Copies of this chain bind each other. A is one copy, B any other.
Amino acid sequence: MRVGIIGASGYTGSELLRILYKHPEAEVVAASSRRYEGKEIWKLHRFLKGFYDLKFCDTNLKNFENCDVVFTPVPHGEAMQYVPQLLDAGIKVIDISADYRLDRETYEKVYGKKHEGYRKAVYGLTEIHRDEIAKSNLVANPGCYPTATILAAAPLAKLELIEKVIFDCKSGITGAGESPSSFTHYPNLHESIVPYNINKHRHYYEIVQELGRFQRDLEISFTPQVFPGSRGILCTAHVFLRGELSNEELYKIYEDFYKNCYFVRLQDEVSLSQVRGSNFCDIAIFSAGKRVVIVSAIDNLVKGASGQAIQNMNVMFGLDEKTGLDFPPLFP
């Protein structure tokens, strides 16, 4: 597979480059960056010295016309400028912006702008939509928070067991991107936990959309926070059930739901170190009768972005979904 990346200068771009280097069936043949066009990739992403000779190209679609698949890790509002043309040229697209995750109307309301290149896409949470992804040419790769939260609650939502759920999420700061800001300024984050966008983060709508497919009437709260770390999202899901369930019953429900899911692991304890650098989502369950705490952990740049995108690519091209992704995490 010939792979293109539109917008390869950020963390999601470099993470695609990192993982795809070892993918046995894929090769990155074009990677664009408006800002760094003409520069060798490794001169920006110095950790990749020795791995790529490629230079950043511009975003002109001609540079991608030989690709079988293109990833688009660009800011929202920008992907919609490229995606329709790529699809029309017969190229499969895995969008890593937010442009294709929500239905048109919700998107325009939440992101406050007209959608100028709307196409119907499959929501790329692989464990939930694997079959549709296999048949799709356009996959909307989920946000990092939605990945962690939906995987934590889906097994219960599917059985319509939830009364309400509060997702208290803690993310590493790479989720804020590679551009320096007051938010990512070291002294503002070190030794701190910073809640932000409380009750108004856009990822909320993805979570509602996807869990709502399973259970219409559940009540969802979502609080994003950053913690002093680079990678990882830990989601503490406080679930109020409609009836009591023991830890064993809960464990059984999760085991059944994820029985064919290589990348979801049930653990007695979870820790971000256990999943760092990998595509795994580790989940632990703590029951207290009608109230349950589900803790999920992912690497926000892998399962929460580039790794899941490659997992989706594998599914779209009929490969085993773990191809090129079956490496252990980096601990500690």
Which residues of A are interface residues toward B (Cβ below 8 A)? 11, 14, 17-18, 21-22, 45-51, 164, 166, 168, 170, 172-174, 178, 180-182, 184-195, 198-199, 221, 223, 225, 227-232, 234, 236, 238, 240, 262, 265, 267-277, 282, 286-288, 291, 293, 295, 327-332
Are B195 and A236 in contact (CB-based, < 8 A)?
Answer: yes
**Oligomeric state, in copies:** 4
A-B contact pairs, 21 of them (CB 8 A): A18-B328, A18-B330, A47-B275, A48-B328, A49-B265, A170-B193, A180-B185, A185-B185, A190-B230, A191-B273, A192-B229, A192-B232, A193-B227, A193-B272, A195-B295, A199-B287, A223-B238, A227-B228, A228-B229, A277-B277, A330-B330
User: Which of B221, B227, B230, B291 touches A332 (beta carbons < 8 Å)?
Assistant: B230
**Are B186 and A330 in contact, CB atoms less than 8 angstroms apart?**
no
In contact, B172 and A47 (Cβ under 8 angstroms): no
Say whether A46 contacts B274, CB under 8 Å.
yes
Q: Chain B residues near A232: list those with CB within 8 A.
A: 191-192
**Closest residue of B by beta carbon distance from A21:** B328
**In the complex, residue of chain B having the shortest beta-carbon distance to the beta carbon of A302:** B330
Smallest distance from the beta carbon of A294 to chain B beta carbons, Å?
10
Q: Are A199 and B48 in contact (CB under 8 A)?
A: no
Q: Report chain B residues within 8 Å CB of A295.
A: 195, 198
Hey, which chain B residues are within 8 Å of A262, CB to CB?
50
From B18, B186, B240, A184 is in contact (CB under 8 Å) with B186
Chain B residues, CB < 8 A from A48: 328
Interfacial chain B residues near A166, Cβ < 8 Å: 166, 168, 238
Give Cα A195–Cα B194 distance, bound, in whole angstroms. 17
